[in-house]
């Protein structure tokens, strides 16, 4: 009964969507377990580009069971738009299921997200302004509205009124916004409820049953380890736990249901929004990586910050997630580089060095990378389908990463297309075991 968790091992946008899509072909179910439509997962199939924010990345297989778990925060407007978008393309979304216990992003969460960022001014986090933080805050405060509440008018109205009450003061600038009217908000969410009713289910039981029947479940993480609310670069993080351990909570399964945990990392590093980024390249090389890698956000279109691969952070992520395999994507972006650098430790103030990811925010904010320089390669590798097809320098780069982290590389991405992937022997073995 294999449970396979796919998580981001850096700051997001590592190519998780593509990897989940690949694994979903042979899986029985795909389950998103945290985050919301702050995520943007791109899949390129037969030259067509699909971007998903909420719907799990397995949906392109007709009828595949695709679950939005209880740990996800759901904006029903975005979800219904995504379902409509799929239908318009003739894609069968009948396998979609949404947890009745997932929390709903409400119009006031969007307003609070924007207002909060504006108030922080220079200290702002650079959120996606999708209402993610305020929605999880209401969940923890026990003032959240859940998917099942959309099916009961009386409960829905009562809960919205209770949730609005403590926010009156902060929401005063939006008082005239029709979206805040209790009656029309209730009606809008009842309508979403009617539209989504066919998909609403006890997804925890569905997932457990699938595993108990010997099925394969892929648990799809959004965001990434360094954006984790507890373990990331707080406060410059998202408001959920994208680490592998959270798959159990956000899907409603137990730790023993997880067998395989793969972390996805790019061959370099990127970050969207504010916060520490020790290997950041604020120069022409960084701009070149951004251009070649197409590093512009799927969700907000923002230019992603770029830098060299940070092995200190990656080793931290490997341990936190107990990774059994490492997926390296976008290796093709480095073709044409004479040399490539990898960060193997941090340098701080007063000649201090750090081999382990520092817990102290002031240390982290001043940390810069200490690098090992490795030879690059000139060849186009986008047609490589086995490690042997790669130039020696590219293989050495991968070996350096795997040796340093102590986790085998299972997959290597050499382009955005579904077929542009190398299964290493370790990957083949692990997949067969699963
Ligand atoms: P996610 O949020 O982790 O699912 O990643 P995104 O979809 O936001 O960003 C990854 C981007 O890289 C997408 O545009 C993918 O199509 C693209 N991509 C994924 N793997 C590769 C790869 O190996 N090479 C290249 N060149 N692009 C890739
Ligand atoms: P995927 O799943 C990259 C970042 C935002 C911001 C911080 C908090 O595509 O990898 P939030 O709106 O979550 O409160 O913003 O987190 N962020 C992401 N960065 N990829 C993502 O998702 C992200 N989701 C949130 O840019 O810095
Ligand atoms: Mg993304």
Tokens of 286: 């960084």
365 is catalytic: no
Using a 6 Å cutoff on CB, does residue 305 contact ligand 2?
no
Q: How far is CA 427 from CA 5, 35, 262, 402, 434, in A?
A: 14, 27, 10, 13, 10
How far does residue 236's CA lie from ligand 2's centre (Å)?
Answer: 10
pLDDT at 356 over 70: yes
What pLDDT is attached to residue 191? Answer: 98
Which numbered atom of ligand 2 lies nearest the CA of 274? Answer: 27
What pLDDT is attached to residue 432? Answer: 66
Mean pLDDT, the chain, whole residue set:
96
Which phi and psi angles does 160 have, rounded to 5°? Answer: -65, -45
195-209, pLDDT tens digit by residue? 999 999 999 999 999
Judge whether 317 and 245 are in contact, CB under 8 Å: no
Judge whether 345 and 363 are in contact, CB under 8 Å: no
What pLDDT is attached to residue 1? Answer: 52
What pLDDT is attached to residue 426? Answer: 75
> Across-strand partners of 104?
74
Distance of CA 275 to the CA centre of its chain: 17
Using a 6 Å cutoff on CB, does residue 36 contact ligand 2?
no
Residue nearest to atom 16 of ligand 1 (CA): 416
| Its pTM surpasses 0.85 | yes
55 DSSP 8-state letter: S
Q: How far is CA 118 from CA 46, 165, 169, 178, 297, in A?
A: 42, 22, 16, 21, 21
What pLDDT is attached to residue 164? Answer: 97
What pLDDT is attached to residue 434? Answer: 60
What pLDDT is attached to residue 50? Answer: 94
Please choose from 13, 16, 18 the residue to mutate so as to test ligand 1's pocket, defined by most ligand atoms within 8 A of CB: 18
- Give the residue-averaged pLDDT of 298-312: 92
The reply to whether omega before 396 is within 30° of 0 (cis) is no
How far does residue 151's CA lie from ligand 3's centre (Å)?
Answer: 31
Which residues, in sequence order, are CB contacts of 197 under 8 Å at separation 6+?
Answer: 151
Which residues, in sequence order, are CB contacts of 146 under 8 Å at separation 6+?
Answer: 100, 101, 102, 103, 104
Tokens of 36: 């919301």
What pLDDT is attached to residue 178? Answer: 92
What pLDDT is attached to residue 212? Answer: 97
């Amino acid at each position: 009964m294999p449970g396979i968790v796919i998580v981001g091992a850096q700051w997001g946008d590592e190519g998780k969507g593509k990897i989940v899509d690949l694994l979903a072909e042979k899986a029985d179910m795909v389950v998103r377990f945290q985050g919301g439509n702050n995520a943007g997962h791109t899949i390129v199939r037969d030259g067509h580009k699909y971007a998903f924010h909420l719907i799990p990345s397995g949906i392109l297989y007709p009828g595949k069971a695709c679950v939005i778990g209880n740990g996800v925060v759901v904006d029903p407007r975005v979800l219904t738009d995504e379902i409509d978008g799929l239908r318009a393309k003739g894609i069968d979304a009948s396998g979609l299921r949404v947890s009745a216990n997932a929390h709903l992003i409400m119009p006031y969460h969007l307003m609070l997200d924007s207002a909060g960022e504006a108030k922080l001014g220079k200290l702002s986090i650079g959120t996606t302004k999708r209402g993610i933080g305020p929605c999880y805050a209401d969940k923890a405060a026990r003032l959240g509205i859940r998917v099942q509440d959309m099916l009961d008018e009386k409960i829905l109205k009562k809960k919205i009124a209770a949730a609005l009450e403590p926010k009156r003061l902060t929401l005063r600038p939006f008082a005239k916004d029709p979206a805040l009217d209790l009656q029309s908000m209730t009606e809008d969410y009842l309508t979403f409820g009617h539209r989504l009713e066919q998909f609403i289910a006890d997804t925890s039981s569905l997932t457990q049953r699938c595993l108990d029947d010997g099925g394969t479940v892929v648990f799809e993480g959004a965001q990434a380890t360094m954006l984790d609310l507890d373990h990331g670069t707080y406060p410059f993080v998202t408001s959920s736990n994208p680490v592998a351990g959270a798959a159990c909570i956000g899907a409603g399964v137990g730790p023993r249901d997880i067998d395989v945990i793969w972390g996805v990392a790019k061959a370099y590093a990127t970050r969207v929004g504010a916060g520490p980024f020790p290997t950041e390249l604020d120069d022409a090389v960084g701009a070149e990586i951004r251009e070649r890698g197409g590093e512009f956000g799927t969700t907000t279109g923002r230019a992603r910050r770029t830098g060299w691969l940070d092995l200190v952070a990656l080793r931290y992520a490997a341990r936190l997630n107990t990774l059994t395999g490492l997926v390296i994507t976008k290796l093709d972006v480095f073709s044409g580089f004479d040399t490539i650098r990898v960060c193997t430790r941090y340098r701080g103030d007063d000649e201090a060095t750090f081999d382990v990811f520092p817990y102290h925010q002031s240390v982290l904010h001043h940390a810069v990378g200490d690098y090992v320089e490795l030879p690059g390669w000139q060849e186009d590798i986008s047609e490589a389908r086995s490690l042997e097809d790669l130039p020696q320098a590219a293989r050495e780069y991968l070996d350096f990463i795997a040796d340093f982290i102590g986790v085998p590389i299972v997959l290597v991405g050499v382009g955005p297309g579904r077929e542009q992937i190398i299964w290493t022997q370790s990957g083949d073995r692990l997949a067969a075991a699963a």
